[in-house]
């Protein structure tokens, strides 16, 4: 059971906790309590082992393919968090004995995780136990844990065994060779192993310190090395009231790390890293390392926090929960890696990147951490060779981005087969990698958003214009001529709504493709005006005259679905002919996807039912193309037919509802976004948190209730708070100027913290704010 009230005063809005251990539902806590720093993610499986645990240590960029018939995935590295305790001869396990006063709490403000309990063993004696963990935000290769045991009713003989466990898999797939194991000075353990296919070398080190009432104690130590496993086992005598503390500090490095590129083999990596990195951490100690990391978190919060005064305290906590996960899901300085659909919190979707990044997550970074946004877009630039290869393999020109992306060299990595068909019993083919093509336009859209917000022309000349031009080439080659429509059409696609396959003229896809083509024309105009080296290089690569002619021809005749007599933009050709069924039981279900219990893909395709927002995402992204009346009619029509079976759906509906001044409805969708990972359903996060939902929660607050939008090259701010909120405060960076926005129901205050004036649109009025200036009305 989740609780959100372990703190008092201001601290209450920083703590997420659970007040009981549920061995049948461990995955939720493992994911939401995950700790990380963008380089590594340490899933919060408990130190002692239980059936049903998923003990993931995931390091960005270490992708591997287990077998030629499978796709690449982020491998689970050897486990560093195992700590097995035997107390008076009995193995400590909460399910074997009596557990009282249990609580596990994540402090979002510091990144620390703590578990406390009183355990009564078979000897009838009680023991106070405390477990703590952190992943360093300042030393990205370092993580640590600490355990304390205090006998309350008598003396205790304590055996502690802890080390590095390479007996891990990704749901059965073992990605590492056996590797090399060594113990230095009877204290530091090191395991070096290499992935099976990608040959990424991983070097893990761990060391322990034991204290009794704060004084170092050695105990009787035994080194253990076994197949894929190594550990130190210590035996200690602890008297009643004494506290035995075990500190474990660890380091992780790989041959794909930026600092280790080019090292030839495991021996060379070990020679450069060895135990030295860990020795530096040991010299500081657990407390100093944790405080150093907590200070880094405080600096992040000074810039990132979104503050809300609400009648419902959960609202503030939810926003901070989302911001916490947004700041541990991305390696902010490495353009070779993207963001997985589960970040580094679990094995779901194999660590692959989707359109989730560009449409749901990137806006947060563009408007608050533009350097990180640039890194993420440079990742897409480095993926251009794979996108070009995919286009060529499918008979098209230009760059056709993979639906699922992993390492920059991997190209398309979408699996070919999924779950079982409830009617036929056969495995369902996964078609998204072949025909869900809107991601190509989504990437171009994100590049243009970054350009508008930052004005970063260096990036555009190096990377951005090339992405836009090559994706436009794809769309110009992707269209086909339809004599009946007397127009170019885009056939056989999947739009954002993945309940509909093999559709023609998906409105989202067609409009976004047209937008991509328009951006290419603008890019060529910009380059011609600059007439610099970038212009000459790209003109030679694309032949501007020929490309312009082709794009103008396609755009002049591209079919763009228009509102019908009822104001509805059909999601795709023939949509209005589909059957409308009663969706009440599926909308009211406590878990997603229940419609698949009754129908298969083919049957669902014949109904007016949607997994998630589709046409409505279009009206959010390209909002200047549709008037308010059209948006309202489409919102009401499509929401009634949407099951919100995707974590991407509710945030879009929240923002649009706020745009339409349906603030009560918008607030319910905001609460719904919170329920995806922090709600009472204990199975929602087993495979990891929903990273797109984290970005969506920020969008609910800032785009929806803060009224922030980028239209063309202009920043719009038009707050409209829900009844439950008295104030909303957030920070943005616009054209290099930092803005602090504070919104109340009847007043908006904007402070320009930058050194130059800024021009914005506030509630429809053009405002010029000088450096240090304040808008307050």
The catalytic residues are 498
> Which residue has 């060299």 as its token pair?
409
Phi, psi (deg, nearest 5) at residue 307: -105, 135
CB 373 within 8 A of CB 365: yes
CB 193 within 8 A of CB 254: no
20/101 Cα distance (integer angstroms): 8
589/582 Cα distance (integer angstroms): 13
The structure tokens listed for 103 are: 């609580």
- Order of strands, edge to edge, in the sheet holding 714-717? 708-711, 714-717, 758-762, 765-769
User: Dihedral of the CA atoms 550, 552, 554, 557 (nearest 10)?
Assistant: -150
The structure tokens listed for 136 are: 């360093």
Q: By C-alpha distance, which of 504, 613, 516 is closest to 559?
A: 504
The structure tokens listed for 146 are: 């600490």
> Which residue has 């339409």 as its token pair?
660
Name the E strands within 583-627: none
Which DSSP letter does residue 591 get? S
Name every residue whose Cβ is closer than 8 Å to that of residue 605 and which is 6 or more positions away in sequence.
Answer: 499, 500, 501, 502
529/680 Cα distance (integer angstroms): 57
CB 759 within 8 A of CB 768: yes
Half-sphere exposure of 207 (CA within 13 A, CB side): 20
CB 2 within 8 A of CB 685: no
Measured CA to CA in angstroms, residue 375 lies from 327, 338, 369, 381 at distances of: 14, 9, 10, 10
Name every residue whose Cβ is closer than 8 Å to that of residue 233 and which is 6 or more positions away in sequence.
Answer: 159, 160, 161, 221, 222, 223, 224
Angle between helices 439-454 and 507-530 (to 10 degrees): 50
Phi, psi (deg, nearest 5) at residue 72: -65, 150
Q: By C-alpha distance, which of 212, 214, 193 is closest to 204?
A: 193
760/738 Cα distance (integer angstroms): 13
701/299 Cα distance (integer angstroms): 22
Using a 10 angstrom Cβ sphere, with 0-12 exposed, 13-18 middle and 19 or more buried, the burial of residue 133 is buried
As a whole number of Å, the CA-based R_g of the chain is: 27
């Amino acid at each position: 059971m989740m609780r959100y009230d372990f703190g008092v005063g201001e601290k209450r809005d920083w703590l997420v906790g659970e007040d009981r251990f549920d061995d049948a539902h461990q995955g939720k806590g493992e994911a939401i309590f995950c700790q990380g720093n963008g380089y590594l993610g340490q899933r919060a499986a408990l130190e002692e082992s239980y059936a049903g645990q998923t003990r993931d240590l995931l390091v960005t960029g270490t992708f591997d393919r287990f077998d030629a018939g499978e796709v690449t995935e982020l491998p689970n590295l050897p486990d560093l968090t195992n700590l097995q305790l035997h107390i008076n001869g009995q193995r400590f396990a909460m399910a074997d004995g009596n557990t009282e006063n249990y609580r596990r709490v994540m402090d979002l403000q510091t990144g620390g995780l703590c578990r406390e309990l009183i355990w009564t063993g078979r000897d009838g004696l009680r023991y106070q136990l405390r477990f703590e963990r952190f992943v360093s935000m300042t030393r990205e290769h370092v993580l640590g844990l600490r355990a304390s045991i205090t006998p309350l009713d008598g003396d205790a003989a304590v055996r502690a065994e802890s080390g590095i466990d390479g007996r891990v898999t990704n749901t059965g797939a073992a990605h590492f060779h056996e590797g090399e194991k060594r113990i230095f000075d009877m204290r530091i353990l090191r395991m070096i192993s290499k992935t099976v296919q990608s040959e990424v070398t991983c070097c893990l080190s761990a060391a322990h310190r034991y204290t009794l009432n704060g004084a170092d104690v050695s105990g009787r130590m035994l080194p253990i090395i076994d197949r894929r496993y190594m550990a130190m086992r210590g035996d200690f005598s602890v008297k009643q009231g004494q506290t035995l503390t075990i500190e474990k500090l660890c380091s992780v490095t790989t041959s794909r790390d930026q600092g280790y590129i080019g090292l030839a083999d495991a021996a060379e990596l070990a020679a450069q890293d060895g135990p030295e990195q860990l020795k530096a951490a040991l010299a500081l100690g657990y407390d100093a390392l944790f405080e150093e990391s907590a200070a880094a978190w405080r600096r992040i919060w000074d810039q990132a926090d979104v503050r809300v005064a609400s009648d419902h305290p959960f609202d503030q906590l939810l926003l901070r929960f989302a911001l916490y996960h947004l700041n541990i899901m991305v390696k902010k300085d490495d353009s070779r890696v993207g963001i997985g659909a589960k970040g580094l919190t679990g094995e779901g979707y194999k660590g692959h990147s989707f359109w989730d990044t560009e449409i749901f997550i990137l806006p947060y970074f563009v408007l608050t951490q533009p350097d990180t946004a640039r890194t993420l877009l440079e990742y897409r630039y480095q993926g251009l060779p794979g996108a070009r290869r995919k286009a060529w393999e499918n008979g098209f020109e230009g760059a056709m981005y993979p639906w699922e992306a992993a390492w920059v060299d991997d190209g398309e990595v979408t699996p070919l087969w999924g779950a079982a068909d409830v009617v036929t019993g056969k495995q369902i083919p996964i078609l998204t990698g072949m025909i869900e093509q809107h991601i190509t336009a989504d990437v171009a859209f994100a590049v243009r958003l970054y350009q508008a917000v930052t004005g970063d022309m260096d990036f555009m000349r190096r990377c951005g214009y090339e992405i836009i031009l090559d994706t436009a080439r794809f769309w110009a080659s992707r269209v086909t001529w339809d004599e009946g429509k007397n127009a170019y059409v885009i056939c056989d696609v999947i739009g954002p709504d993945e309940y509909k396959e093999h559709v023609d003229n998906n409105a989202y896809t067609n409009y976004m493709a047209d937008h991509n083509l328009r951006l290419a024309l603008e890019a060529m105009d910009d380059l011609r005006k600059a007439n610099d080296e970038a212009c000459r290089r790209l003109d030679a690569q694309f032949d501007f005259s020929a490309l312009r002619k082709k794009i103008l021809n396609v755009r002049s005749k591209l079919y763009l679905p228009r509102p019908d007599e009822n104001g509805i933009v059909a999601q795709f050709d023939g949509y209005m002919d589909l059957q409308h069924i009663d969706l009440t039981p599926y909308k009211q279900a406590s878990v997603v996807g229940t419609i698949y219990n009754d129908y298969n893909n083919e049957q669902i395709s014949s109904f007016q039912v949607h997994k998630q927002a589709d046409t409505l995402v279009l009206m959010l992204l390209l909002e200047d193309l549709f008037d308010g009346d059209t948006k309202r009619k489409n919102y009401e029509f499509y929401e009634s037919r949407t099951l919100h079976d995707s974590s991407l759906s509710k945030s879009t509906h929240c923002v649009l509802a706020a745009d339409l001044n349906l603030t009560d409805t918008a607030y319910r969708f905001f609460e719904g976004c919170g329920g995806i990972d922090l709600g009472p359903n204990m199975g929602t996060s087993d495979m990891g948190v929903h990273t797109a939902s984290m970005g969506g929660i920020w969008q609910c607050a800032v785009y929806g209730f803060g009224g922030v939008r980028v239209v063309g090259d202009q920043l719009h701010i038009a707050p409209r708070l829900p009844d439950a909120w008295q104030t909303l405060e957030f920070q943005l960076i616009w054209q290099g100027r930092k803005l602090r926005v504070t919104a109340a129901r009847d007043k908006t205050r904007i402070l320009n913290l930058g050194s130059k004036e800024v021009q914005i649109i506030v509630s429809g009025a053009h405002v010029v704010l000088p450096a240090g200036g304040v808008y307050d009305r």
